[in-house]
Amino acid sequence: MYKVFVKDIPIILSTEENIGEHYTTIPLKQARFKKLVKKINNGELLYVNLYHKNAEKLERFLRKKIKVVEAAGGLVYNSKKEILFIRRNKKWDLPKGKIEKGETHREAAVREVIEETGVKDLEIRDFLMTTYHVFTRNDKFRLKITYWYEMFSDYDGPLIPEPEEGIKKVKWKDFEKSQRALQNSYENIKLLFPKEYLTTHPNDRIPKV
């Protein structure tokens, strides 16, 4: 299953014909992707499932229907178990950026975190997932495919926002502050976080004696 976010509303691409009563299922061959995006942008559509039984054809469909921009970024922890956030466009986000020619996804992810935040000594610990969202550039739709990595750094130096990328702040945030930041973030960013960041503190679930 793929979730392609348009203004934080997901277009679902799946191998399941029925994913819920609210969803309109459209066979992949009949889908007019750009028209669906326009309807979502205009508030005319909320729940749509593009269906094909062959999973390999789902992303192939996306890449064929809309120009792709590939990016990479990081969910970065430090030794205090804090998470690195950036503030851009009045929302909390995670550092990421376009993959340059000749770079691997991992190399691009590390470079972008360094450039956007000033954090160094980064260690990639795991690949997290790939996210998809549609944006507009020069009045044309683009699909951003972002490859996300879990990283660690014990860097404790100054945090340096990259103003050329519209970044206003860079902050390390503990569990509670991360929860609050995610309330003013993007749905595709929330996918990267363990469920407890989106609900309650893990300690709240410990039975009281």
CATH numbers and ranges of domains, the chain:
2-65 (no CATH), 71-202 (3.90.79.10)
pLDDT of residue 170: 98
Report the candidate in 86, 105, 97, 51 with the shortest Cα–Cα distance to residue 185. 86
pLDDT of residue 199: 65
pLDDT of residue 195: 86
Q: What is the pTM of this model?
A: 0.89
Residue with tokens 């929860």: 179
pLDDT of residue 111: 98
Residue by residue, pLDDT tens for the chain (209 residues) are: 899 999 899 999 999 999 988 899 999 999 999 999 999 999 999 999 999 999 999 989 988 989 999 999 999 999 999 999 999 999 999 999 999 999 999 999 999 999 999 999 999 999 999 999 999 988 899 999 999 999 999 999 999 999 999 999 999 999 999 999 999 999 999 999 988 888 654 444 333 33
